[in-house]
Structure 1
Amino acid sequence: MKTEDYAVAVGHGVDPARWQEEFEVLMGRIAGRFARVEPRRRLRAFVQGLLSELPRKNCWSIAEWAGEPSPDGMQHLLGRARWDADRVRDDVREYVLEHLHDEDAVLVVDETGDVKKGTHTVAVQRQYTGTAGRIENAQVAVYLVYAGLHGHAAVDRELYIPRSWTCDPDRCRAAGLGEDTVFATKPELAARMIGRFLDAGHRVGWVAGDEVYGGNPKLRSTLEERKVGYVLAVACSAEVTTGAGKFRADALAAKVPKRAWQKLSAGVGAKGHRFYDWAVIDLAEPRPGSHRLLIRRNRTTGEHAYYRCFSPAPVPLATLVRVAGSRWRVEETFQAGKGLAGLDEHQLRRFTSWSRWVTLAMLAHAFLAVVRADEHTRHPAPDGLIPLTCNEIQRLFTMLVAHHVHDVAHRLSWSAWRRRHQARARASHYRRQAANQT
């Protein structure tokens, strides 16, 4: 981009030069994870490709967008090049904490699924996924999201490996999993990630999650032992103990007097504050700390939601409501990670490639979240404009900083490469079909 073009952009309150500098600093931050210069250069192009506005992001489309003659280099980066995705994941966490740190931040745990075809993709099986809203052939991963006042981004990930895989060592080996891979529940994966976060020297006051995590006593005990507060959703049938005895959560909600309900906002959404009626009941637990049941009532439908809450010391109802509302940040993170950084668009079968793809997608989204936070601090939006969003930053970054223009020869060469690859694939399918029929 030319200097005078930057000047025009700056006149509109946008400084692409600073975005480019931030991107280069981020690339330099993880460059040491790669021993050779070739994968470092390819990494930069790959992340820019994830941030691009390609309608579909995979090794083929990103390689063509980056100007490479074939997808071989991008596939090598994800599958065979020597680098540790877990160390880059740690770099992402430190990057997010450095720029989005907030004393009142919340760690949110949740899973998301990617619908897949076939049976060979690592960890795939027919299972429920909220992405589709039903049971589908899917791959599910649990993510840990750091949500604070300045922004939110995923800082860790764990692939959920179903029992149908862990009891089949040969299948695990074929997908790049160790033969000693053992089954872990989603709450166990969440505890593993939270433990990594805390063991890295970071502190957080609260963890939030849905019923999958709130209904797990072991996860709750783990958080209590580490003196981390939580607001975790539970089912209406969850049993809790009060001074008057043991009750179902919905039975307690029916006993709450009208004067005990308070109208409070669970945070600001796209259409304004999310107001609900809230009530809280103290629980009788033998363990130290403040244990409570939080009840949310929809002001229109009357529908109830329930949360098991713990804090080392008693806190106001408004604090519990704020933490409960933070859980929606994980949905926004998934939406942005998938829509802007290709988090769910990988077409990869092996575990190493999966972990590398999602880690780099987390990195790409973290970059957008950090730029957004920086822009909101440096350049408050003028009257008549909303503050810059991650969507708008991605669009401007692609157009003003990372735009690639390729000649006709490059486009035609890729067309020939695709047709040649497809011809080989078709011939292979025909040979296999003929062999099966003999």
Structure 2
Amino acid sequence: MHGHISHRFVRAEPRERARTYLRGILDPVGRRNGWQLAARVGEEHPDGMQRLLSTARWNADRVRDDVRDFVLGYAGDRNAVLVVDEWRFAKKGRRSVGVHLARSSGSRRTENVQTGLFCTYVAQRGSYLIDRELFLPATWIGDTGLRRSARIPDGLPYRTVAELAGGMVTRAIAAQVPARWVAADVSVIDLPLRRFLERNPMWFLIGVRTDERLPMVVGDHRGRHSAETVAALLDGDAWATRGASQVRQWSAHEWARVRLPVARPGSGVRWLLLRRDPGTGENLHAYLCQAGPATTLPDLVEIALLLQRNRYVLASACTGAGLDEYEVRHWVGWYRYTTLALAAHNCLALAGSRNDTAETVSIPAARDPQARSRLPRPEPRTDTEEEPCPTPVRPSTRSVPCATRCASTSNSARSTVPARRGRSPWLVFPSGRSRGWAR
């Protein structure tokens, strides 16, 4: 991972410091703050570690893009799911950037928190964090003193949680991230973001309020009805607790779906997915879905369960990579530390996916009629005795020799790639790529 992002650091000192920081995050050093990481490498003061997060010359957004491309090189999947969710980090004081009173995700208490938005790439090989954003309340944007103390860039406007979530989805689409679904909870969705997803060709499953009135046909009359009204009208046979081909139960809930009218000509089929506790009918949850006509109820339930299990992905990033153990107060420091923490967490996830005992993620395969028109995967080369390239280069329909891609003539495990000045020895993914490269 460090070899893939090292070219983003101009000077050698922050480049090596970033390697030390990544190793320190993954080691059991207590809290991942500057003092603990400096003590791990034998330094008396945390100045070097803190300088990496404050004044060193490197762009956290470009490193984020490199981390995302590194992950996609190993785990790219055209049926993957982009899960957008928020996580609230508990903070002791009020001087950290973006601190406000809300319910913490870890302690479940109302206290001073920082709200971070994260985009998880859920594929067959595992779950990986590929994007992050920090929510700044209106009080921080409007107060000049707070902006100056937290070093918030001038001209940064106020953006809601839904706008930040939409920005991450837009970046993923612009970067041609291979994914079929977008899943988000009701807390990160608003009406403009829903309209954006409806216009986009990607399928989505988003949470909606149970009292929101949606257009649907009940009987022979078309009108607007809420999820609570629809759940009361459904009889017991309409609710399912387990699919015919499912081995385990669907998280001990009852599920049902109702067909909705098409939003606009040419868009996908829409459903209202309902979930409630069996027997009592309490704890009703509603999801608005748009997918292909061949999508079944088990497919929608699997995507909804991935959205529920995303909190465990964020909790594992806090435990294994110290995502919540940062001690930075400035806007730039938060993004830099979070980017390095995401890189460390993805290293752990990729290392686990290479083991035989790794848990695979169940994602429904595509059943749309356009799936047959995609380009087939290229056959492996048989006219050379070279071993397959171990570097994370995306598969391509073009046959490119490994020596051209890696700038090396030998691909054995003991070979070394000569360093290139100003660039990473690992090739950054090209912006233009043909369809059908992913698994």
Q: Identify the TM-score tier after normalising by the shorter chain.
A: 0.7 to 0.9
TM-score normalised per structure 2: 0.76
Q: Where does 1:44-83 land on structure 2 (aligned, <5 Å)?
A: 44-83=19-58
Contact 1:166–1:182 (Cα < 8 Å) also in 2: yes
Q: Where does 1:374-389 land on structure 2 (aligned, <5 Å)?
A: 374-375=354-355, 380-381=356-357, 387=358
Identity of aligned residues (%): 35
Query: Pick from 175, 183, 192: which aligns with 1:208?
Result: 183
Deviation per CA, 1:134-175: give whole Å up to 9, x if none.
431111111111112210011000100100011113321221
Residue 238 of structure 1 is matched in structure 2 by 212
Query: Pick from 353, 357, 361: which aligns with 1:373?
Result: 353
CA distance in 1, matches of 2:186, 2:137: 19
1:313 CA displacement: 4.2
Residue 219 of structure 1 is matched in structure 2 by 193
CA distance in 2, matches of 1:329, 1:156: 18
TM-score normalised per structure 1: 0.76
Query: What amino acid does structure 2 have at the position aligned with 1:169?
Result: T
Do residues 298 (structure 1) and 277 (structure 2) align?
yes
The alignment partner of 2:205 has SS state of strand
Contact 1:100–1:152 (Cα < 8 Å) also in 2: no
CA distance in 2, matches of 1:284, 1:196: 29
1:87 CA displacement: 0.6
Unpaired runs of at least 5, structure 2: 361-439
The alignment partner of 2:241 has SS state of strand
Further displaced range: 235-244 or 157-166? 235-244
Classify 1:153/1:329 alpha carbon distance in 2 versus 1 (closer, same or farther; 3 Å). Answer: farther
Residue 255 of structure 2 is matched in structure 1 by 278
Do residues 347 (structure 1) and 327 (structure 2) align?
yes
1:42 CA displacement: 1.2
Deviation per CA, 1:288-342: give whole Å up to 9, x if none.
3212100113236533221111125452112111111111342122111101111
Do residues 125 (structure 1) and 100 (structure 2) align?
yes
Classify 1:388/1:253 alpha carbon distance in 2 versus 1 (closer, same or farther; 3 Å). Answer: closer
CA distance in 1, matches of 2:61, 2:163: 18
Aligned residues: 352
1:264 CA displacement: 2.9
CA distance in 1, matches of 2:292, 2:152: 39
Query: Pick from 224, 227, 231: which aligns with 1:253?
Result: 231
Structure 1 residue runs of 4 or more that deviate by more than 6 Å after TM superposition: none
Contact 1:107–1:145 (Cα < 8 Å) also in 2: yes
Contact 1:227–1:312 (Cα < 8 Å) also in 2: no
CA distance in 2, matches of 1:365, 1:69: 27
Unpaired runs of at least 5, structure 1: 1-25, 382-386, 390-438
CA distance in 1, matches of 2:84, 2:344: 20
Query: Pick from 229, 235, 247: which aligns with 2:203?
Result: 229
1:131 CA displacement: 2.9
Residue 5 of structure 1 is matched in structure 2 by none
Classify 1:30/1:44 alpha carbon distance in 2 versus 1 (closer, same or farther; 3 Å). Answer: same
Further displaced range: 303-312 or 187-196? 303-312
| TM-align CA RMSD | 2.2
Residue 307 of structure 1 is matched in structure 2 by 287
Query: Pick from 75, 82, 85: which aligns with 1:107?
Result: 82
Q: Where does 1:397-436 land on structure 2 (aligned, <5 Å)?
A: none
Contact 1:187–1:213 (Cα < 8 Å) also in 2: yes
The alignment partner of 1:344 has SS state of coil
| Structure (1 or 2) with the greater helix fraction | 1
